[in-house]
Amino acid sequence: MAELSGRTFFVTGANTGIGKETARGLAARGARVVIAGRSEEKTRAAMKEIADDTGNTDLDFVPLDLGDLGSVRRAAETFLATGEPLHVLINNAGLAGSRGMTASGFELAFGTNHVGPFLLTELLRDRIVESGPGRIVSVSSDGHYRAKGIDWEAVRRTSVTRTAFDEYCVSKLANVLHSQELARRLAGTGVTTYSLHPGAVASDVWREVPFGVRHVMKLFMRSVTDGARASLHCATAPELADRTGRYYDNEREKEPSPVATPELAAELWKRSEEWVAPAP
């Protein structure tokens, strides 16, 4: 129970699915877990379930809507104002199968799955470095192999494909690139980064897919408990402490897409910094 005692984990989207099972696994090992999400009601219900299940009540809630950069800033400010350390950030929250734009003007999947997490990570990274050794974990997908690159104009327009799956794959490529570039920028700080594919999991990431299609999809998917293993592995496994910027499929290191080059990662970083910069 005390294995992770004294260590604080910040997990986004942990009121359901993989995120909730990740938070449950951390709490069961004695961690303090801060859960960030849009619904306070759902998150507090999840926290009670986790506390009842694990006996660990060291859980907290921070409001966060990753599609709204103002909300991201407020969430980071709320946590930083506590003055407490942060050892591991798990960028778990995401969506798929829904078309549209975020409140901050990005294609829905790209804005929610990359731009929001990028800003959150930037706002919290100094605290993670100060608290180190630390880790930053990004839940990506093997869908990133389908992306041929990033169309810088398309990510500022509404989704165009019928299922928005192509856009989702681009956002997951961005997760891998972000993790790789972050590893280069954090070299020597004691903070390591990881991106991962949790497997095809029957989680709420597919909540916007039409019900009939979603039901059939989930028949062939892993459970959320199985899906959380990759996140827990990257967030806590001692043997990964000297590795950074790597991509994991389930719990095994794997080469990411050849499209995930240092050059593209640097370009994405530059543009992401410009996108999230406060208005003058």
Whether 248 is catalytic: no
The whole-angstrom separation of Cα 100 and Cα 183 is: 31
User: 3-class SS at 34?
Assistant: strand
User: What beta strand segments (E) does the chain contain?
Assistant: 8-12, 32-37, 59-63, 88-91, 134-139, 191-197, 246-249, 252-253
Distances (CA, A) of 29 to 1, 26, 56, 91: 4, 5, 9, 20
Residue of 168, 194, 247, 248 marked active site: 168
Q: Where is 113: in which H helix or E strand?
A: none
The greatest distance separating any two alpha carbons of the chain, rounded to the nearest whole angstrom, comes to 50
Neighbours of 276 (CB within 10 A): 18
Beta-carbon contacts of 15 under 8 Å, excluding residues fewer than 6 positions away, are 35, 37, 39, 42, 43, 45, 46
Beta-carbon contacts of 76 under 8 Å, excluding residues fewer than 6 positions away, are 120, 123, 124
Residues annotated as part of the active site: 168
